[in-house]
Structure 1
Amino acid sequence: MAGFREHIGFSTVIGIGYGLAGYQMGLPIESCILAGALCSVSGMLPDLDSDSGTPVREMTSFAAAVVPILMVPRFESYGWKPEMIALGAALLYAAIRFGVAEIFKRYTVHRGMWHSVPACVACGLLSFLIIGGEDLNLRLFKSSAVMLGFMSHLLLDEIWSVSLRSGRLNIKKSSGTAIKFWGKDNWANFSTYAKVVVLSFLAVGDPMLMNHFGYETRFGEQTAKQVIHRAMRMAGVNDATENPPGEVQR
């Protein structure tokens, strides 16, 4: 089984490549650096269910420091004053630093459903909701980095479950316990997929929520109206907003 160093090293290399790819596509360098760092650290996320205290301690400390900072744009969109933002950030820090570790200790087992593809999707959706900002492209870029780091861990676990001994391929019992969609515990399966469904609804509705609080959300450089206009032009339908009554189209 791959250890802490192997996982963090593998996800870091992937994170560097991911950040460089984003920079080549023209994304802001600070966003690329952050995405690379998120990918690197997310390589340890699946081991939050580990019996060892190292992954939990490291991840909760990192998340407690970073998550409140990422939430600041969202707090601002709600119209919170600086004092309220500081209070919210402090409460988040305490909840993550002292609550998350206990939750994983009590309700997860090593190589259970937390080591699975739906858990990876849930982490991606949650990170999308945590990461603030008006540009959905950047939010998707950063949340995808979290999923990439998570999947790198699962992939490395599966690679480590296969070894070559005396010219023979040896497959360990742990093979198939990392990259999976379904586990042995039915309640854990239901709970994991229920989280994915709930987070999916929250993520889909999030831009509407942001707009409700007066925080304009856009997809890249295009607004929703521009997307609709383009779709109508491609379908050959005249847009009444572009050609008001009485105006002759030339």
Structure 2
Amino acid sequence: MSTLAGAAYGLVGHLQYGMPETTSMVAAGLCGIAGILPDADSDSGQTVRELMGFSAAVIPLLLADQFKQTGLSQDALVLAGGCMYIIIRFGLGEILRRYTVHRGMWHSIPAALIAGMVTSLIMKCDPPQLRLFKSGAVVLGYLIHLSLDELYSIQFRRGRIRFKNSFGTALKLWGNDLWGNVMVFAKLAALGYVTLQTTNMNSRMIATPPAEERLPREATLRPTDDLAPIERR
């Protein structure tokens, strides 16, 4: 479902709001991928391995522009990408397996917002409107998964509605664990602050042209520019 929603999201962004074709396609893919992010707390190790393997391959590519701005050599860029792959594939995957609980705060609306903010920070080299478009796709895909989990917890039997025990554990703002709630909202606040600061910084950089573009025309004229042309006879 999140894949279909991502395709519609990208199409509307391109046709209605003039987003570039490639950006719309990336946003559609991000929405589809975000639809499986909540399953990272699944008890099945296969889901985590597949998710971490894909993320480890894609995230270094999304960070390519930021790596280039550091002035690293080609070999250093390759080494950095390889290190990121190992950290995400094995380190982050192990953390998720150890410290996440199925249908815990990983299945929540704040977690969806955190995923969107992380996406925005990964793509901070993009203009603000493109960052918002892509991060919105991630939040949409995440929320679709949570909504479907809630729908599947509702059963109709003999004309009666029956709610499973899992009802209300996916599309929620907070859970039963106080410490887990504090940690999630602390991360949400910190990421929100950093995202806002980087967005404002990028907006100022786009609004302020380089120094050479702000020079008046008189300052850029060469000494011979204001001389009248010499007529040849």
TM-score computed with the length of structure 1 as normaliser: 0.78
Aligned to 2:212: none
| Deviation (angstroms), 1:56 | 0.8
Distance 1:31 1:88 in 2: 25
CA distance in 2, matches of 1:200, 1:88: 26
Tell me the CA shift for residue 218 of structure 1.
4.0
Aligned to 2:9: 18
One-letter amino acid of the counterpart of residue 19, structure 1: G
Q: Which residue of 2 aligns with 1:155?
A: 147
> Residue type matched to 2:14 in 1?
Y
1:73–1:132 CA contact under 8 A, matched in 2: no
The alignment status of 1:127 with 2:110, answered yes or no, reads: no
CA deviation string 1:149-200 (max 9, x = no partner) = 1111100001111111111111111111001111111111111111111111
Q: Is structure 2 residue 21 aligned with structure 1 residue 29?
A: yes
Pairwise CA distance, 1:115: 0.4
AA of the residue aligned to 1:187: W
One-letter amino acid matched to 1:12: T
Aligned match of 2:102 = 110
For 1:112 and 1:125, the matched residues in 2 are separated by: 20
Q: Which has the larger radius of gyration?
A: 2
> 1:99 — aligned with what?
91
> How many residues align structurally?
208
Alpha-carbon shift at residue 225 of structure 1 (Å): 5.7
Structure 1's unaligned 5+ residue stretches are: 1-9, 212-216, 227-250
Shift of 1:61: 1.0
1:64–1:92 CA contact under 8 A, matched in 2: yes
CA distance in 2, matches of 1:176, 1:156: 12
Q: Which amino acid aligns with 1:37?
A: G
Displacement of 1:223 in angstroms is 4.1
Change (3 A) 1:74 1:120: same
Give the AA of the match of 1:17. Answer: A
Which residue of the partner structure matches residue 70 of structure 2?
A: 78
Spell out, residue by residue over 1:44-95, the C-alpha distance to the aligned partner (whole angstroms, 9 max, x if none).
Answer: 1011000012321221111001000000111222333323222221111111
The answer on whether the counterparts of 2:114 and 2:188 sit within 8 Å (CA) in structure 1 is yes
Whole-angstrom CA distance in 2 between matches of 1:200 and 1:78: 24
Deviation at 1:17, TM superposition (A): 0.5
- Out of 47, 51, 56, which is 1:59 matched to? 51
**Shift in Å, 1:23:** 1.1
Q: How far apart, CA to CA, are the structure 2 residues paired with 1:57 and 1:152?
A: 22
Structure 2 gap segments, 5+ residues each: 210-233
* In structure 2, distance between residues paired with 1:203 and 1:85: 25
SS of residue paired to 2:63: helix
Instruction: Provide the alpha-carbon RMSD of the alignment.
Output: 1.8
Residue deviations 1:75-128 (CA, integer Å, cap 9, x gap): 222333323222221111111111121101110100001100111111111111
TM-score (norm 2): 0.84
How do 1:1-250 and structure 2 match up within 5 A?
10-24=1-15, 25-207=17-199, 217-218=202-203, 223-224=206-207
- Letter paired with 1:18: Y
Paired AA for residue 177 in structure 1: T
Cα distance between partner residues in 1 of 2:47 and 2:119:
19
